[in-house]
Amino acid sequence: MFIGTANVLDTIPGPLRDRMEVIQLPGYTSDEKALIARRYLVGRQFAANGLDTARCEISDAALRAIIDDYTREAGVRNLEREIGNVLRHAAMRVAERAPTPIRIETTDLPAILGVARFESEVALRTSMPGVATGLAWTPAGGDILFIEASLVPGNGRLILTGQLGEVMKETAQAALTLVKSHAQRLALAPDLFEKHDIHVHVPAGAIPKDGPSAGVAMFMALASLVTNRPVRADRAMTGEISLRGLVLPVGGIKEKVLAALRAGIDRVMLPVRNRKELEEISPDAREKLHFVWQETVDDVLREALEDTPAVAA
């Protein structure tokens, strides 16, 4: 029997993959990471650094801070590295004959690990019209994806940037067509698209991105832009769109939902045809989230856009 691991299945030759039983391992929630850290990782790093509970303690709050502020990931590999960094610092203090036990609290982390590397940027990013929070699947688990749109004087061009693949470019075209078809409902000026160019950008431009599942987020970014109504900051979305305005099912739902949870988002908008996959998500994760099911883009507009336009600065 041979056991192998891989982040991406596409690089495994077809005949070999056909003879393998594939076991998918999704990412962990913050609660699961905290339990893994307390039960396994801390003890292993105590042994590796010559410490024990009589000489060093690390609080649960400090472990949570490491998970949320320093190691936002699907697994726990970087979490164990950072715990090791913290405990090596404690071991150095023990060697310097500091009073024991040395207790590591949240307030000690900046001096040891530096400033927090992650923060909740969802509310900051989506506070202005033209920005929507999408959910993406990556080989390392799910991730949030910001779609930004801007309107500038021009002659109706659609400009796409951010290392987008062909499928994602076509998805942006479909999203713009859908917004144009909703012009009357959105109370848009008849010549809006003729006199302006629309620029759609997906940040992290050095990372290639592709796939149709950002269709709903692209549609919402464009609808938010042309109506001057921000997308609600507590919502993240995924789903493919059709030119008839249907929201079609996508893959990687479990990973995407866990990514939303890690980012502090409590409302996830999913295609209604993905409802059956809800059972794959752990009960504790489901309890922390509110799921909004989408059948058409009209459902998305009703649930995601703020009721009042943004006030100009």
pTM of the prediction? 0.77
- pLDDT digits 0-9 by tens, 263-289: 888 899 999 999 998 888 888 888 889
Tokens of 70: 């320093």
Task: Give the span between the Cα atoms of 225 and 222, in whole angstroms.
Answer: 5
Annotated catalytic residue, options 256, 276, 282, 288: 256
Which residue among 213, 224, 242, 276 is the active-site one? 213
SS3 of the chain: the string is: CCCCCCCCCCCCCHHHHHCCCCCCCCCCCHHHHHHHHHHHHHHHHHHHCCCCCCCEEECHHHHHHHHHHHCCCCCCHHHHHHHHHHHHHHHHHHHCCCCCCEEECHHHHHHHHCCCCCCCCHHHHCCCCCEEEEEEEECCEEEEEEEEEEEEECCCCEEEECCECHHHHHHHHHHHHHHHHCCCCCCCCCCCCCCEEEEEECCCCCCCECCCCCHHHHHHHHHHHHHCCCECCCEEECCEECCCCEEECCCCHHHHHHHHHHCCCCEEEEEHHHHHHHHHCCHHHHHCCEEEEECEHHHHHHHHECCCCCCCC
pLDDT of res. 181: 92
Contact by Cβ (8 Å): 258, 285:
yes
pLDDT of the residue at 68: 83
Task: Please give the pLDDT value at position 313.
Answer: 47
- For the chain, list residues with pLDDT below 70: 119-126, 139-141, 205-206, 310-313
The class (CATH top level) of 122-304 is alpha beta
Strand 240-241 versus strand 247-248 pairing type: antiparallel
Cα separation of 295 and 260, whole Å?
20
CA contacts within 13 A on the Cβ side of 22: 13
Tell me if residue 209 is catalytic: no
Q: What are the residue boundaries of the structural domains of the chain, listed by start?
A: 30-113, 122-304
Active site residue 282: no
Give the Cα separation of 205 and 122 in Å (integer): 18
> What pLDDT score was predicted for residue 247?
95
Other CB atoms closer than 10 Å to residue 270's CB: what's the count?
26
CATH of domain 30-113: 1.10.8.60
pLDDT for the residue numbered 312: 56
Same fold, 30-113 and 122-304: no
Q: How far apart are CA 17 and CA 158, in angstroms?
A: 40
Phi, psi for 134 (deg, rounded to 5): -100, 175
Token code pair at residue 50: 């010559």
